[in-house]
Structure 1
Amino acid sequence: MTTITPVLLCGGSGTRLWPLSRKSYPKQFVPLMGEETLFQASARRLHGRGLGPDGDLGFASPLVLTNADFRFIVTEQLGLAGIDPRAVLIEPEGRNTAPAILAAASYLVASDPEAVMLVAPSDHVVPDAASFYAAVAQGLGPVREGRLVTFGIAPTHAETGYGYLELEGPVDDGAPQPLTRFVEKPDLGRAEDMLASGNFLWNAGIFMARAADMVAAFREHGPEILGPVEAALAQAKTDLGFLRLDPASWATAPDISIDYAVMEKAPNLSVVPFSGEWSDLGGWDAVWRESGPDESGVVTSQGATAIDCRDTLLRSESDRLEIVGIGLENVMAIAMNDAVLVADMSRAQDVKKAVEALKAKQSPQATAFPKDHRPWGWFESLVIGGRFQVKRIMVHPGAALSLQSHHHRSEHWIVVEGTARVTIDDEVKLVTENQSVYVPLGAVHRMENPGKVPMVLIEVQTGAYVGEDDIVRYEDVYARN
């Protein structure tokens, strides 16, 4: 049985699925298709032994690459999925896929020069796992011969949101084939021509190779990347179980994709076609297709109602907000507590323009998710006034906020679920449901959840300034600066 190490990339921003996906909490961590997140589904798919058509595949614990903001979300979601990662490498800043994949390959080579790695984005939907395993098994032959393997998706329509792979001849389903070239995202007319030709595949951005062969490819075709990445790995530091790549070395690595850096230059590249169901959910039109429209082409979430609509997606992402569409056709409408998107379905790829426009006017909705996820849980602002703010805060069992104080605000805490252990200066006490406590301006304080269930409280802040940067930390179990 061949054991493969999955390498999960999860540092993207997913702006085309705004307002649900934002820079502070992108689509891979959001339950877009059911209750499980895309990241959890990806990790589960690349987990287990005795897989493949002949039970000849097994996956080792995954290697995850992400950034510092998402590190605790990664471990929390993997824990909920029952998966223990081999390592979580922290990228100091986003430098595109080439440095990330090289860091993973170099990390694996250090312990096993023969290690086989399967690099996959963590935000794809692959409903037909059996067909995917069969494609991976097909790719192992070329990998054993020292080739780099990429996976191409058999196109089902003329898609302008994907790059393409051009083969030397017609697609031979499942069999590895030589690649002629990579093709950038086309316009509609070009996409229709490529679909009709029969020798183009969508570029899935999924790669498989021996880690040593991947490093060798960078040494030959991307030596300017090799030095900075190897230095960042050599000088990496362990932090609470994460491996932080060295920021100074990492910053000198080129910001470039694996396609441009290596794959377009490598002569030893094979393509494995995959004809099973697949989507990268690259826009709300893809979410609409993958959600299974009814006979009128309508998809609605709980909290959404469609009346006399056709080819329409209506989603409410809030249990406090009901969305109703009447007489709509070819429309997508996504409503959240702080933002609503309404657009023609054909303009799905232009949603990123909305994010750019909001950034230009400095709207927090451009990048900030309504729920601010932290290592200990999350909080959301319910009301913000000139000199006050009301928050709902959830703390995981056994978790604790930092020991801190504020220069400009005092706080009232009312526990509504569970029990809080509260520290205020020299006093420590338990606060249970329906009890409250006052934290004076300047007091050194902390809240913890000593129980076995989540603890929820309402926080009322009052003062001249209630911004998140008014925090002086004295002690933090999560080693945040």
Structure 2
Amino acid sequence: MSQKIIPVIMAGGKGTRLWPLSRSSAPKQFIQVAGDRTLFQATLLRVADRTVYEAPVVITNQDFRFLVAEQARDIGMSLSGILLEPVARNTAPAVAAACAYLGERFGDDALLQLLASDHEIDAGDAYMEAIRIARDTALADRIVTFGIAPTEPATGYGYIELGDLLPTGARALRRFVEKPPLEKAEAMLAAGGFSWNSGIFMCRVGLLVSELKRFAPAVLDAAVAAVEKAHRDLDFVRLDPESFGGSPDISIDYAVMEKTENAAVVPSAFAWSDLGSWDAVWKLGAKDEAGNVVLGNATLINAENSLVVSRAGHHLAVQGVRDMAVIASEDAVYVGRLEDSQEVGKLVKRLAAEASTARLTESHPTSYRPWGGFTSLLDGDRFQVNRLFVLPGKRLSLQRHHHRAEHWICVKGVAEVTIGDSVRLVRENESIFIPQGEVHRLHNPGKILLEMVEVQTGAYLGQDDIIRLEDDYGREKA
């Protein structure tokens, strides 16, 4: 491939369809569903071949900026840019902003590939052949989408009807079909000539800009202004909030793909899933002789065709179930029929509406920060116990708290602790006390992960009681 492709990875979604593992502050693209990589990391690795791809551009929600940077660093992947959406919008504004950014840096002839960050894809020979055909078709001035050969009459996917064969081996795109009822999906499969809509696109930047200008000018104008008025923050590009927020909230399918005469589709045989439900996870998993998929620690008796997932060390004992999903996170358990797993979102909405359960939809007991993170171990009246983990060479902000004191116990590594004007090393099995209101900082000067047990005591223990005086990461709030 003579002209390299610039991957644009969409990583801003806050979907919770894989609850309780997925939460609004840690959605499915940033969690390990199966295997030792997150879906976002797996997406990065699919575009790691520098003979085919340039370094990727990631567009994400500003709340996820450190997750993106840290997970890319963890696998040694350099990024060409990280664009931060100041407010949630649909895919068309994000794509338009990416085009404006790439146009400035690489010109209108740059070739982009738009990818979701939360899909499971077998990136073998069939995938690379589809990429080759898509590239040739895109260079022939087409906006190319990838159509997945359907394996069942799925109702959770949109469909594409294929048109005439093109010289490059792609097909003209006849029409999009919304997520169909079962009877219509069965009829389309029986008729042939339909593919699942993967949501993966490839085209020249200039062509997509011209089609946005023609069919969605307000989206393009808002995106161009958001990029022109953007400012750099460490390794991030913060899109202008007022400009980006003024964009219509519309998908790229509705804005452009269903209107353009220049669309094409590459019928693709590679294995693909959007992992949009626990049923999809079960279908892709390695099954035992009874059809069960087990991820984590579990013992099953008289169980068939079920998915059992255990996180945070819980051992699940499951007996006498069939076609069920049993999912245990650190602080919640979901049990439901696999055939109903598309409806988990309704359950999450109900949990979010109740004050007593809303936090279960928002964040995990483990929260990640640019320096490492912390796990909440125990909450009590006027006290809280956390496990802190600090990456080698990283340090927390210089800060103080109005309402709480803290006791730190080092359980692994060596900590450099600043309290007021003094700096002290705290080694394994040693502890230190930070009085209420005192300026302090925690630093890991070593080469291994630092782990501390933190006991907070006081009248108020919320994360917003952090007054930052200095910060390596440009943060203003906890």
TM interval, shorter chain, is over 0.9
Aligned length: 471
TM-score by length of 1: 0.96
Please report the RMSD computed on the Cα atoms of aligned residues, expressed in angstroms: 1.4
Choose which of 94, 97, 101 in structure 2 pairs with 1:103.
97
The answer (yes or no) to whether the contact 1:175–1:273 under 8 Å persists in 2 is no
Letter in 1 for 2:450: M
Q: Structure 2 residue aligned with 1:376, among 368, 371, 377? A: 371
Confirm whether residue 289 of structure 1 aligns to residue 283 of structure 2.
Answer: yes
From 144, 147, 151, give the equivalent of 1:149: 144
The alpha carbon displacement at 1:341 in A equals 0.4
- Give, in whole Å, the separation in 1 of the partners of 2:63 and 2:440: 24
SS at match of 2:93: helix
Pick aligned residue for 1:327 from 295, 313, 320: 320
Instruction: State the 1:142 CA deviation.
Output: 2.1
| Distance in 2 of aligned mates of 1:426 and 1:168 | 72
One-letter code of the match for 1:281? Answer: L
What residue in structure 2 maps to residue 349 of structure 1?
342
Find the counterpart in structure 2 of residue 189 from structure 1: 183
- Whether 1:444 and 2:439 are equivalent positions in the alignment is yes
Q: Deviations over 1:91-145 (max 9, x none)?
A: 1112111111111111111132211000000111112422111101111222112
Name the SS of the counterpart of 1:15 in structure 2.
coil
Letter of the structure 2 residue corresponding to residue 416 of structure 1: V
How far the C-alpha of 1:408 sits from its partner, in A, is 1.1
Cα shift readout 1:250-295 (whole Å, capped 9, x = no counterpart): 1101111100111111110001111111111111111111112222
Q: Within 5 A, what are the aligned runs for 1:189-268? A: 189-268=183-262
Give yes or no for contact 1:168–1:179 (8 Å, CA) kept in 2: yes
Which of 469, 472, 475 is residue 477 of structure 1 equivalent to?
Answer: 472
CA distance in 2, matches of 1:28, 1:474: 33
TM-fit CA distance, 1:17: 0.5
> Hey, what does 2:54 align to over in structure 1?
60
CA positional deviation for 1:232: 0.5
Residue in 2 that maps onto 1:420: 415
Q: CA deviation at 1:302?
A: 2.5
Cα distance between partner residues in 2 of 1:22 and 1:195: 34
Map 1:25-44; keep pairs closer than 5 Å: 25-44=26-45
Shift in Å, 1:236? 0.6
User: Does the aligned pair in 1 maintain the 2:13–2:61 contact within 8 Å?
Assistant: no
SS at match of 1:207: strand
Where does the alignment leave 5 or more consecutive residues of structure 1 unmatched? 51-57
C-alpha separation in 2, matches of 1:69 and 1:39: 15
Query: Which of 454, 474, 481 matches 2:449?
Result: 454
Matched, 1:71 2:72: no
Instruction: Check the 8 A contact 1:45/1:129 in 2, yes or no.
Output: no
Matched, 1:306 2:307: no
The normalised TM-score by structure 2 is 0.96
- Report the 3-state secondary structure (helix = DSSP H, G, I; strand = E; otherwise coil) of the residue aligned with 2:138: helix
- Report the Cα distance in structure 1 between the residues aligned to 2:109 and 2:38, rounded to whole angstroms: 32
- Kept after mapping to 1: 8 A contact 2:330/2:364: no
Query: Helix, strand or coil for the counterpart of 1:168?
Result: strand
Moved more, 428-437 or 125-134: 125-134
Determine the C-alpha separation between the residues in 2 that align with 1:314 and 1:102. 40
Between the aligned partners of 1:156 and 1:42, the Cα distance in structure 2 is: 23
Q: Which residue of 1 aligns with 2:396?
A: 401
CA contact (8 A) 2:324 2:338 kept: yes
What SS does the corresponding residue of 1:17 show, helix, strand or coil? coil
1-structure distance, mates of 2:122, 2:270? 8
Structure 1 runs, 4 residues or longer, greater than 3 Å off: none
Q: Provide the C-alpha distance between the structure 2 equivalents of 1:383 and 1:37, rounded to a whole number of angstroms.
A: 27
Query: In structure 1, what is the Cα distance between the partners aligned to 2:265 and 2:11?
Result: 23
SS in 2 for 1:255: coil
Measured after TM superposition, the shift of residue 308 of structure 1 is 1.2
Partner amino acid for 2:459? A
Q: What is the CA deviation profile of residues 15-49 of structure 1, one whole-angstrom value per residue up to 9, with x for unaligned ones? A: 11011111111111111120011111111111214
* Matched ranges for 1:117-196 at <5 A: 117-168=112-163, 175-196=169-190
CA distance in 2: counterparts of 1:348 and 1:194, whole angstroms: 24
Gapped regions of structure 2 (runs ≥ 5): none
Residue 318 of structure 1, aligned match among 312, 316, 325 = 312
Q: Distance in 1 between matches of 2:151 and 2:17?
A: 21
Supply the AA of the counterpart residue of 1:325: V
Q: Which amino acid aligns with 1:307?
A: I
The DSSP-based 3-state class of the residue aligned with 1:48 is: coil
Match of 2:272, SS?
coil
Any idea what SS the aligned residue of 2:350 has? Answer: helix
Partner SS, residue 458 of structure 1: strand
